[in-house]
Amino acid sequence: MDMKEYIGQAEKDLLHTYNRYQIVLDKGDGVSLYDMEGKKYLDFVAGIAVFALGYHYPGYDEALKGQIDKLIHTSNYYYNVPAIEAARRVKQASGMDRVFFTNSGTEALEGAIKAARKYAWLKTGSHDGEIIAMNHSFHGRTMGALAVTGNPKYREPFEPLIGNVKFADLNDLDSVMSCVTDKTCAILLEPVQGEGGLLPAEEEFLRKLRALCDERDILLIFDEVQCGMGRTGYMYAWQRFGVKPDIMTSAKALGCGVPVGAFMMTERIAQNSLTSGDHGTTYGGNPLAAAAVAKVLEIYERDDIVGHVRQVAPYLEQRLKELMAEHDCIVEHRGVGLMQGLVFDRPVGEIITRAVEKGLLLINAGADIIRFVPPLIITKQNIDDMIAILDVCIP
């Protein structure tokens, strides 16, 4: 079948929960993707911030192929070496003390919520612990993750969700304080909001949240599924200001394409929350996924991927601001590191479609924002090429 026929088949067989672009991607190389007809696309989506190392980074494929030849899955009734090695490296990179591997970011968030609720129950003996999340946040599609996602359009079709959730505004401590009660057990946020519009949390806000949580024995939870793994120029975004959470989630670039996530916590929380029988997963931390995590973190350290982000990200920001100066329809630049966005005075769907036609893959973050989350290995030339294409796509 040709590409059009495959798309037609997909429309008959797949549940229509995505409005896909009319291309069938076939292979990747470096920071480029190719469709079935051989057309090349410069990739500034990276599988939604997943392919931090691009496609076929030296050593990554070989590690997975080697593990496939040995063992793919065993279950968590047994130890396996890749999971042990991956956990050690995750602890080192994250600064946290305990790791639980999941299959995705939303599952990691579910585990974080359960840990917070269990911590509160052990402390108070009550089931009325409240969670404060942020407006405009996005934490996933499962029922628990939806309950703390601060956008009603995602939540409303599936209500009732888990209860005792309140929403405050990012970077507005008064808004948070208006939600705090003696039942508050956790405050949850993304250090940089992704789907919500590439908005970074401010240092003062984070420090005051940390102080508030310490004072009242409230758990501070950071969702670093998208903003973690080097994307902000730090291995995890909290390290930018040194404001450490009690619980943290990670996924996306953690496996660089293999479905894997994790939630981590400090030793204090680990000793006072989840215990044997409280939480589980059939596939989480299996040898194949764990081998990917271990290899990704080895590559990050060996090749100083975070250092490269710090070198190239200012250039991306500079070029985006130059583009903004040339087009009146671009009203704002946002973001940090290689997680940046341009806010337009109109919907950006047509611009992104034009870019796809010209060989550039982009993604939105809301109707009026173009999000830039390319592989972390991009070069200044890749950025120039992206800007040149995007420039002619903006009316």
Per-residue confidence in pLDDT tens, the chain, 395 aa: 999 999 999 999 999 999 999 999 999 999 999 999 999 999 999 999 999 999 999 999 999 999 999 999 999 999 999 999 999 999 999 999 999 999 999 999 999 999 999 999 999 999 999 999 999 999 999 999 999 999 999 999 999 999 999 999 999 999 999 999 999 999 999 999 999 999 999 999 999 999 999 999 999 999 999 999 999 999 999 999 999 999 999 999 999 999 999 999 999 999 999 999 999 999 999 999 999 999 999 999 999 999 999 999 999 999 999 999 999 999 999 999 999 999 999 999 999 999 999 999 999 999 999 999 999 999 999 999 999 999 999 99
- For residue 17, what pLDDT is reported? 93
Alpha-carbon distance of 118 to 120, in angstroms, equals: 5
Alpha-carbon distance of 22 to 36, in angstroms, equals: 11
Contacts of 76 (CB under 8 A, 6+ apart): 280, 281, 282, 284, 285
Cα dist from 308 to 16, 29, 230, 319, whole Å: 39, 19, 10, 17
Nearest one of 39, 37, 185 to 115, comparing CA atoms:
185
- For residue 84, what pLDDT is reported? 98
0.85 exceeded by pTM: yes
Q: Which two tokens stand for residue 50?
A: 């997943």
Cβ-contact 229, 235 below 8 angstroms: yes
**Strand 363-364 vs strand 369-372: parallel, antiparallel, or unpaired?**
antiparallel
| Helix pair angle (287-303, 81-94), 10° resolution | 40
- For residue 353, what pLDDT is reported? 97
pLDDT tens, position by position, 272-287:
999 999 999 999 999 9
Alpha-carbon distance of 338 to 149, in angstroms, equals: 23
- For residue 384, what pLDDT is reported? 98
Q: Which two tokens stand for residue 260?
A: 């894997």
Spell out the SS3 assignment of 264-281: EECHHHHCCCCCCCCCCC
All structural domains of the chain: 3-57+305-393 (3.90.1150.10), 71-303 (3.40.640.10)
Q: Could you give the percent of the chain with pLDDT greater than 90?
A: 99
pLDDT tens, position by position, 326-359:
999 999 999 999 999 999 999 999 999 999 999 9
Q: What is the DSSP code (8-state) at residue 133?
A: E
- For residue 127, what pLDDT is reported? 92
For residue 122, count CB atoms less than 10 angstroms from its CB and return exposed for 0-12, middle for 13-18, buried for 19 or more. Answer: exposed
Alpha-carbon distance of 264 to 250, in angstroms, equals: 8
First to last CA, the chain: 36
Rounding to the nearest 10 degrees, give the CA dihedral for residues 135, 140, 144, 150.
10
Q: What is the DSSP code (8-state) at residue 210?
A: H
Nearest one of 278, 268, 281, 226 to 251, comparing CA atoms:
226
- For residue 267, what pLDDT is reported? 98
pLDDT tens, position by position, 253-272:
999 999 999 999 999 999 99
Q: Which two tokens stand for residue 133?
A: 């999340």
Cβ-contact 112, 269 below 8 angstroms: no
Q: Which two tokens stand for residue 169?
A: 């505004």
pLDDT tens, position by position, 224-245:
999 999 999 999 999 999 999 9
Our measurement of the distance from residue 147's CA atom to the centroid of its chain's CA atoms, rounded to an integer in Å, reads: 18
Residue with tokens 């994307």: 231
For residue 325, count CB atoms less than 10 angstroms from its CB and return exposed for 0-12, middle for 13-18, buried for 19 or more. Answer: exposed
